[in-house]
Amino acid sequence: MSTGREIRLIEEDDGWWSAVDVETGVASQGETRAEALENLDEAVELTLEAREDDTPSPAPDAPWFEGS
């Protein structure tokens, strides 16, 4: 069953593998293809969780800051 994700898997010159999730822009690596993909899944999950938890930054209140 396909998840519809586009993943780029690259064998680096040093023998390690890099994996990039195209939609999220998240990348990871591993010594093997399988490890790179497992690490990518974990990195994407953590990134999506962090993005969901993101809250707006407070307005700056420093007297020297002039908003535009």
Is 30 part of a structural domain of the chain?
Answer: yes
Is 19 part of a structural domain of the chain?
Answer: yes
Asked if residue 21 lies in contact with residue 44, where contact means CB atoms within 8 angstroms, the answer is yes
Residues of the domain holding 22 = 7-46
Domain count, the chain: 1
Give the 3-state secondary structure of residue 50: helix
Residue type present at position 10: I
27: Cα separation from own chain's centroid: 5
Is 56 part of a structural domain of the chain?
Answer: no
pLDDT at 50: 85
SS3 readout for 8-46:
EEEECCCCCEEEEECCCCEEEEECCHHHHHHHHHHHHHH
Is 67 part of a structural domain of the chain?
Answer: no
Residue position matching structure tokens 């999506």: 48
Q: What is the pLDDT along the chain (68 residues), one digit of tens a residue?
A: 556 889 999 999 999 999 999 999 999 999 999 999 999 999 999 998 888 887 666 666 666 656 55
